[in-house]
Chain A
Amino acid sequence: MAGRKRPPRRQGAAGWLFVSPTIVVLGLFLLVPVLMALWVSFSDWSGVGSPLSSGVKFVGTKNYQQLLSGGSLAETNFGTSLRNNAWYVVFVVPIQTAVALLLAVLVNRQVLRGRGFFRTAFYFPSVTSSVAITVLWLFLFSTTGAVNKALSFIGVHGPNWFNDPDGIVHLALRLFGVDRGPAALTGHTALGVSWWDWFAGPSVAMSAFIMMAVFTTSGTFMLLFIAALQNLSSEVQEAAMMDGANGWQRFWRITLPQLRPTLFTVLTLGLIGTWQVFDQIYTGTRGAPDNTTVTPSYLSYTTAFGSQQWGQGAAIAFILFVIIVVLTLVQRSVLRERAVSKRRMRLYDPARLTGAAATTAKETSR
C-alpha cells in the first residue's frame, strides 16, 4: 500500500458507506452489549426494567468478590464450573489435535482408495448442529444405550454415563484402594472446592461430552492438517528418505516440525473453543450430575436468567473472557519461544490468528 496514489475523494465516502452496515451491526450488537454487561457486572440490577435506569446502583466489585471469595454457594459453583471446564480443556484439546493429525496423515496418502469417502466421513460430524449431536449422544450414552450395549458384547458393564458424577481420576485411584483423599488435599479449598475435588478429573458424564467434542471437531482440524501436509516440501522428505530415515522418524523429525504453524493454530482454536462449552450442556445435562458438567458459560447463563443474579452472571462471563485471553497469550508465548523462520513468522500474525479464531471458535465449541 506504500506506493499507491492518494485515493480520489469519492472513494472516502464510498468506503465509509460500504463498511457502515458492518460497523453499525457489530457496534450495536458487540461493542455496546459488552459495555452494557460490564456495567451490569458492577451493578445491583435485579432483572426488572432497564439496567440503565436510575434505580440501579453501582456496587463496585461486589459481584466479582462473591464469585472469588467468601465461601458462598456462588463461589463453590463457580469454582466447580472452572474445575469441570479445565478438565474438559485438558482432555479435549490434546486428544482432538492428535486425532485430527492422525486422520490427516492417514487420509493424505497419495495412493489411498476411497480417500474422498474417508474425508467425508470424518468431516461430516463437524457440519451438524451441536443440538442434534447432543440429542444423539444422550441416546447413545444412556444407561441402556448403544454404547453400553456394544460394551456388553465384549463383556464390559458400561457406566451410567450421563448420571455418573465420579471423576475419572478418582475412579482410577479407587482401583488402587484410594477412596478418600489425604487430609492435606481434602482439608484445603480453592474457590470453595477442595483440592481433592479439583483433582477429581472430568466426571464420567463429562467424559461423554469430551468424546463428543473430539468426534465433532477432529474433522475440521483434520482439514487444516491435510492442507498443511499438502504444502510440505517433498524435497526434504526425499532427502530424509535417502538418509535412510524410516516413516516414523521422518514424521517426528521432519513432518511435525514443519507442521508447527498449523499445530499452533489448531491448539489456539481448540483452547478458545473448549472454554466456551454451552450448547451441549444446555441441551443435554443442564449441569447434572452433581454439577460436574456445569461450565462457566452455562453457569453465567443460569445465574443471570435463572437465579436473577444478573450482575454475578455478567461477572462470570467477564472472568471467563479474561481466562481465555490470558491462556491464549500464555500459549502463544510458550510456542513462540523457539526461533521461527521469517517465512513462518507470518503465520503468527495476530490478525490472521484472531480471524481464524472467530471463524472456528463457534465450530469448535461443541
Chain B
Amino acid sequence: MTSTPLADRIGTGAPEPDSKAPPPARAGRHRALMPASIVLYVALIAIAVIYVLPFLINVVTAFKTEPDATANPLALPVNWTTAAFHTLFTNSDFPTWVKNSFIVAVFVTAGRVFFDSLAGYALARLDFRGRNVVFALLVAVMAVPSVVLMIPKFLVLNQFGMYDSYAGMIIPLLVDAAGVFIMKNFFESIPRSVEEQASIDGAGTFRVFWSIVLPMARPALVTIIILSFQGSWNELPHFIISTQSPGLTTLTKGVASLASGQLSSGNQYPIKLAAAAIMTIPVAVLFFVFQKRIMNSSDGAVKE
C-alpha cells in the first residue's frame, strides 16, 4: 500500500480482505473457538465497552435531572426528562451556536473542496515556473503548529478589520495545506491521457479541470469533505480569537463556556451533556455514512 497512492484505494473502495475471505477461513472460525480465541473476544469486548460506554453515559445522563445525575452517575434515569434539551433550545443561545457552526462548516467545506482541488490540480498537472517553490512553501507552512497561530491570527484579523465577523471566522479556514496535498496526490494517480485528449480538442485549462478532472476526483473530494467538515465543526481556538459577539458564537465555543461557567449556574451536568451529545450528532452522522471510506482511506489521507 505504501506505494499505492491513497486515491486509487479510495477510488476503487478497496474491498476489505475479510469481505472476500475464502471458505477455508470460515471453516477456520469453528476451529478458532478455542480458549485462545475466547480470550481474544473477551478482551475485545471489554475494550469495546470502555470505548462505547462513555458515550452511552453521555446520552443517558442528558435525560436525567441534576440531582439524579450527581447521585447515580451509572444508573438509568429515575425519571426520563427532556428538561435539559428544553432549556438548551428555549432558554439559551444554543440554537444560535448550532446555526453558526453549520454556517461555518458548510462554507469552509465548500471552500476547501474547490480551492484545495484547484491548487492540488495545478501542483500535480500544470507545469509552471515556481511550482516547486510553492510546493516547498506549502510543506513549510504545514510544519507550523496551529497553536502558535492563536495570538498572531487575532492580530491579523484585527488589522484587516475582519475581527468579529463571519468573514474572519471562515476565510482563514478556507484552504488547508493538507487538503491540497491529498488532492495533488490523487491527481497524480489518474492517467493523463483523458486530459490530453480534451486539451487537444481545444478545451481551456479550467474547463478541463472543471468538467473532466474534477468529476473523476469524487472519491478524493469525499475525503476532503469529511476532513473539512469535521475539522471546522470541531474547531475551537480559531473561533475564540476571531469573535466576541454572542451572535457569532459557535457550538465549540459556546459549549466550552457552558462547561467552565461556574458560580451559581452550578454543575448542571444534564444540560452540558445534552449539549455535548447534540454537537456530536452531525459528525457522527457523517462518520456512519462514510464509515467504510474513512476506515479504508484515512490512513492514506494521513500518510500521503
Is A–B contact present in the complex under a CB 8 A cutoff? yes
Chain A: residues with CB nearer than 8 A to chain B? Answer: 1, 4, 6-7, 10-16, 18-19, 21-23, 25-26, 28-34, 36-37, 40, 50-52, 103, 106-107, 109-113, 115, 117-125, 127-136, 138-140, 142, 144-146, 149-150, 215, 219-220, 223-224, 226-228, 230-231, 261, 265, 269, 272, 275-276, 278-279, 282-284, 286, 297, 300-301, 304-305, 310, 313-314, 317-318, 320-321, 324-325, 346-347, 350-352, 354-362, 365
CB distance from A272 to the nearest CB of B (A): 7
Cβ–Cβ < 8 Å partners of A37 in chain B = 148-149, 151-152, 155
Taking a contact as CB atoms under 8 Å apart, the answer to whether B51 and A136 are in contact is no
Q: Of the candidates B148, B181, B279, which one forms a contact with A132 in the assembled complex, judged by CB atoms under 8 Å apart?
A: B279
Residues of the A chain whose Cβ atoms lie less than 8 Å from the Cβ of B84: none
Chain B 142-156, CB within 8 Å of chain A: the 1/0 string?
111111111111111
Cross-chain contact A12 with B129 (CB below 8 angstroms): yes
Within the complex, the shortest CB–CB distance from B116 to chain A, in Å, comes to 8
Please determine whether A129 and B233 come into contact, CB atoms closer than 8 angstroms: yes
| 5 A-B pairs (CB sep. < 8 Å) | A11-B127, A15-B126, A50-B158, A359-B178, A359-B301
* B304–A132 touching, CB < 8 Å: no
- In contact, B149 and A33 (Cβ under 8 angstroms): yes
Which residue of B has the minimal Cβ distance to A52? B159
Query: What separation, in Å, do the CA atoms of A6 and B17 have in the docked complex?
Result: 43
Beyond A122-B51, A124-B52, A140-B54: 19 further Cβ-contacts under 8 Å?
A6-B127, A15-B128, A16-B130, A18-B121, A21-B119, A25-B174, A37-B152, A110-B21, A112-B44, A119-B295, A128-B280, A129-B280, A135-B255, A135-B275, A139-B69, A139-B272, A142-B73, A223-B295, A305-B154
Cβ 8 A contact of B73, one of A6, A7, A146: A146
Would A127 and B302 be within 8 Å (CB), given that A135-B259, A138-B259 are in contact?
no
Interface residue B248 (Cβ < 8 Å from any Cβ of A) = no
* Pair B139/A150 contact, Cβ less than 8 Å: no
Q: Does B76 contact A (CB under 8 A)?
A: no
| Nearest A residue (CB) for B168 | A29
Which residues of chain A are within 8 angstroms of B291 by Cβ–Cβ distance?
120
B240 touching A25 by the CB < 8 A rule?
no
The answer to whether A130 and B236 have CB atoms under 8 Å apart is: yes
Establish whether residues B155 and A51, one from each chain, have CB atoms under 8 Å apart when the complex forms: yes
Contact B1 A129 (CB under 8 A): no
Question: Which residue of the partner chain, among B32, B128, B283, contacts A129 with CB atoms under 8 Å?
Answer: B283
Interchain CB contact under 8 A, A129 and B48 = no
A70, B74: Cα distance in complex, Å:
50
Contact check, A4 vs B48: say whether CB atoms are below 8 A apart. Answer: no
* B212 at the A interface (CB under 8 A): no
Contacts of A352 in B (CB 8 A): 303-304
Q: Is B18 an interface residue (CB 8 A)?
A: yes
A7 touches B127 (CB 8 A): yes
Tell me, rounded to whole Å, the shortest Cβ–Cβ distance linking B146 to chain A.
Answer: 6
Query: Contact: A139 with B227, CB < 8 Å?
Result: no
Expressed in whole angstroms, the minimum distance between the Cβ of B133 and any Cβ of chain A is 10
* B194 partner residues in chain A, CB cutoff 8 A: none
Q: A21-B119, A127-B287 are in contact. Are A29 and B146 (CB under 8 A)?
A: no
User: Contacts A15-B131, A224-B299, A275-B145 known; A310 to B151 CB distance under 8 Å?
Assistant: yes
What's the tally of chain B residues with a CB closer than 8 Å to chain A? 117
Q: With A119-B295, A354-B139 in contact, is A30–B151 under 8 Å at CB?
A: no
A25 to B141, CA, bound (A): 12
Instruction: Give complex CA distance A347, B304 in Å.
Output: 9
Determine if B143 and A111 form an interchain contact, defined as CB atoms under 8 angstroms apart.
Answer: no
Select the residue from A110, A226, A355 with max chain B CB neighbours within 10 A.
A355
| Most A C-beta atoms less than 10 A away, residue of B52, B55, B171, B298 | B298
Which listed residue (B142, B272, B283, B303) contacts A127, Cβ 8 A?
B283
Name the residue on A nearest B131 (C-beta).
A15
B275 and chain A: residue at smallest CB distance = A135
Determine whether the beta carbon of A224 is less than 8 Å from that of B128: no
* Chain B residues near A10 (CB-CB < 8 A): 205
Nearest CB of B to A102, in Å: 9
User: Is the beta-carbon distance between A34 and B119 smaller than 8 angstroms?
Assistant: no
Contact at B150–A145, with CB atoms within 8 Å? no
Question: How far, in whole Å, are A52 and B152 apart by their CA atoms in the complex?
Answer: 13
Q: Is B198 positioned at the interface, with any CB of A under 8 Å from its CB? A: no
Contact with A along B265-297 (1 / 0, CB 8 A): 001010011011101100110110001001100
User: Does chain A have a CB within 8 A of B177?
Assistant: yes
- Asked whether B2 is an interface residue with its Cβ less than 8 Å from the other chain, the reply is yes
Residues of the B chain whose Cβ atoms lie less than 8 Å from the Cβ of A4: 127
Is there contact, CB below 8 Å, between A111 and B287? Answer: no
A26 to B255, Cβ gap below 8 A? no
Nearest chain B CB to A303's CB is how many angstroms away?
9
- Known: A25-B171, A25-B175, A132-B280. Contact between A223 and B298, CB under 8 A? yes
A351 CB contacts on chain B under 8 angstroms = 135, 139
Taking a contact as CB atoms under 8 Å apart, the answer to whether B44 and A106 are in contact is: yes
Find A139's partner among B115, B256, B273 (CB 8 Å cutoff). Answer: B273
Is B70 close to A, CB under 8 A? yes
A307 to B174, CA, bound (A): 31
Least Cβ distance of B289 to chain A in Å? 12
User: Do A12 and B260 touch (CB < 8 A)?
Assistant: no
- In the bound complex, do residue B51 and residue A121 qualify as a contact, i.e. CB atoms below 8 Å apart? yes
CB proximity of A294 to chain B, nearest CB, Å: 14
Q: Which residues of B contact A357 (CB under 8 A)?
A: 142-143
Do A21 and B175 touch across chains, with their CB atoms under 8 A apart? yes
Residues of B contacting A127 in the complex (Cβ-Cβ under 8 angstroms): 230, 283-284, 286-287, 294
Tell me the complex Cα distance, A296–B118, Å: 37
Report the separation of the CA atoms of residues A278 and B151 in the bound assembly, to the nearest whole angstrom. Answer: 13
- Shortest distance in angstroms between A136's beta carbon and chain B's nearest beta carbon? 5
Q: Evaluate contact between B180 and A279: CB separation under 8 angstroms.
A: no
